[in-house]
Amino acid sequence: MYIDIFYILLSYLWGAIPTSYLVAKYYAKIDITKRGSQNVGASNLATNTNPFIGYLIGAFDAFGKGSLPVLIFLYIIPVQYEITPILCGLVSIAGHNWSPYIKLKGGRGLSTAIGLLFAFQMWPHILLGTLFIGIMGRIVTKDNAFWAFVTIIMLPIITLATTSQSIEHSLIISLGITCLLIAKRITSNSHPNLENNKYREILIYRIIWDRDLKDHKQWINRNISSESSIKNS
C-alpha cells in the first residue's frame, strides 16, 4: 500500500515539472505566467516563443507526463493495486495543472490528459478530441476553447457508450479527467476582474471559454494593452 502511495506522489511531482515555464524562462527569457493567456502550457508557449518549441513541449506533456507514468506502472514496475496506474496518470494531470514548483500555477492539462487516454488505448475518446478540438477548434473556428469544453464534458458519455469491459476503470479515467480539467478552468492562473462583481458571468466564461472574456483576441492581448498604458502614462 505504502509503495503505491509513493508511486502516486512521485507521479504528481513528475507531472508538476513546469516544462513550458522553464523553456520560456531559459530559452526565450520571458515569464510565461505574465504573457498571453498566462497559461503555463504548450499552447501559450508556442504563441509567445516558437511554434515548433511549443509542439515539442506539448508532445512531452502528453507522452512524457500523461503516458509514461502509466506505462511504467502497468508494464515495468509491479504495483499492489490495479487502480494505481490510473491514479498515477490522473495525479500527473493534477501536477501539471497545479504545480507546487511555481506556486500552484500550471497548464490546462489537455495534452497530459490526451497522453493518459493514449496509455489506456481509449481510442473513441481520442477520436472525439481530434474531431472537436483539432478540426472544429483549430481549423474551422480558430478558437478551440469551446470545443475543448465540449470534449471534456463528453468523455464520460463516450465511455458509457463505447466501453463494454472494465467500464469502472474507464469511468474513473474519464470522470477524473473531466473534473480536473473543469476545475482548472474555474480556478485559472489569473485573478478575475471583479470591479462590477460579475462573478457568475466570469464563472461561465471560464468554464465554457476558458478565459474571463468571451473575445479570444481581447483576452490574449489584454496584457499588451495594459503595458502600453503604463508606458504612455
pTM, two decimal places: 0.88
Close Cβ partners of 105 (under 8 Å, ≥ 6 residues apart): 18, 21, 33, 40, 98, 99, 189
Mean pLDDT, rounded, for 215-231: 56
Interval 150-203: pLDDT, tens? 899 999 999 998 877 778 999 999 999 999 999 999 988 666 555 555 778 888
Question: Distance between CA atoms of 166 and 177, rounded to whole angstroms?
Answer: 17
How many Cβ atoms sit within 10 Å of the Cβ of residue 163? 18
- Radius of gyration for the chain, computed over Cα atoms and rounded to the nearest angstrom: 18
Sign of CA dihedral 130, 24, 181, 87: positive
pLDDT at position 68 is 97
Could you report the per-residue pLDDT of 67-117, keeping only the tens digit for each?
A: 999 999 999 999 999 999 999 999 999 999 999 999 999 999 999 999 999
Residues 105-164: tens digit of each pLDDT: 999 999 999 999 999 999 999 998 888 777 877 777 777 788 889 899 999 999 998 877
Write down the pLDDT at residue 132: 78
pLDDT of amino acid 231: 41
Q: Give the list of residues 6+ apart from residue 88 with CB closer than 8 angstroms, or none.
A: 7, 8, 11, 69, 70, 73
Domain of residue 50 covers 2-232
What domain count does the chain have?
A: 1
